[in-house]
Amino acid sequence: MWGVLAAALLLPVGAQAQAEAEVPQGRFRQPATRIGEIIEYELSYRHEPGLNVIFPDSTASYAPFEYVGKTYQPTRTRQGRSLDQTTYRLRTFSLDSVQRLQLPVTILRGRDTLTLPSTSAAIRLRRLVAPAAAGAAPTLRQNTALLPVAPAFNYPYWLAGAGLVLLVLGGVALTFGRRWRQRYQLYKVRKNHVYFLAQYARHVERFTLSRSLTNMERAITLWKNYLTTLENNTISSLTTREIVAHYHNDADVRLALRLADRVIYGNVFSEDETETDLAFDLLRSFAERRYELVRTQLET
């Protein structure tokens, strides 16, 4: 009975002794370093597979070194023993000739923790300048050679320049925008009018040569479409009576469309071409008057 109780009491002590049997190993991968140079420090620990082991992170103290980063390897278990290994990237700005580092490894056991310090690792500081004698000023080495500097894109100035350009363009648009739009509208109206006159004359000429109702219908349709585009109305879809009413019973429009309807729908040709010529002339004259009216409105 007493033997079993003693064995039970000795089990935690034996487990702790076994955990402490392996000391975490810390070492620098290079014997010497210089001020500010990145060095690698390797921390490894062999233990039982069931232990929960925690290595130091970026919040730990690495004095006299500064923490830069770390890489770790997954736990490897062979022949009943596990190995955890982490490589830390450090640098130092201390001037001590020999600098040492000893990092702890933490073992979790429920609510309790056990901290095991690693073996002490030392690294030698490689000096580039020999230490000056007591009271003597250090000897300075002159180096006036220019080093190449990569050109950098000056974002603030470019953004300020772009903003200034946009501001100027906005001011120009506000000042001259209406005039430019007016000139562009005048250009389009003038171009469309010249095109209408040329096409209208071609249809009239074809009708005169062929006396074909198709050419006369095309001339009337071209006239309606041109006035629809010029004045932004819908007379191209209106009847003759509606067109005459739209233009307030204009005498030239009323007479020209009445003569054209008598020829197209009544198939009534006069002995001479006086009536058809009159109808074509009246429609062209009315279109020119409406063009002059629109052009005058755009220029004011």
Among 11, 70, 16, CA closest to 47? 16
Sheet containing 32-33: order of strands = 32-33, 121-125, 98-101
The torsion angle over the Cα atoms of residues 184, 185, 188 and 190, rounded to 10 degrees, is: -110
The Cα–Cα gap between 259 and 263 comes to: 6
3-class DSSP state of 9: helix
pLDDT in tens, 260-270: 888 887 766 65
Average pLDDT, the chain: 85
3-class DSSP state of 206: helix
pLDDT in tens, 154-195: 888 899 999 999 988 887 777 777 777 888 889 999 999 999
Burial class (CB in 10 A: 0-12, 13-18, 19+), 219: buried
Fold of domain 20-125: Immunoglobulin-like (2.60.40)
Specify the pLDDT at position 2. 38
Pair 281, 222: CB distance under 8 Å: no
3-class DSSP state of 107: strand
**Does the pLDDT value for residue 232 go beyond 80?**
yes
pLDDT in tens, 2-54: 343 333 344 444 444 444 458 999 999 999 999 999 999 999 999 999 889 99
Specify the pLDDT at position 20. 47
Residue 141 pLDDT grade (very low, low, confident, very high; cuts 50, 70, 90): confident
pLDDT in tens, 238-297: 999 999 999 999 999 999 999 888 888 776 665 556 888 899 999 999 999 999 999 988
The Cα–Cα gap between 98 and 120 comes to: 12
Tokens 């953004």 locate to 159
The Cα–Cα gap between 121 and 91 comes to: 14
Q: How far is CA 241 from CA 65, 180, 247, 257, in A?
A: 100, 39, 10, 9
3-class DSSP state of 267: coil
Backbone angle region of 241, left / alpha / beta, with phi > 0 → left and psi within -120 to 50 → alpha: alpha
The Cα–Cα gap between 263 and 217 comes to: 10
Q: What is the mean pLDDT of residues 66-70?
A: 95
The Cα–Cα gap between 249 and 258 comes to: 12
pLDDT in tens, 188-209: 999 999 999 999 999 999 988 8
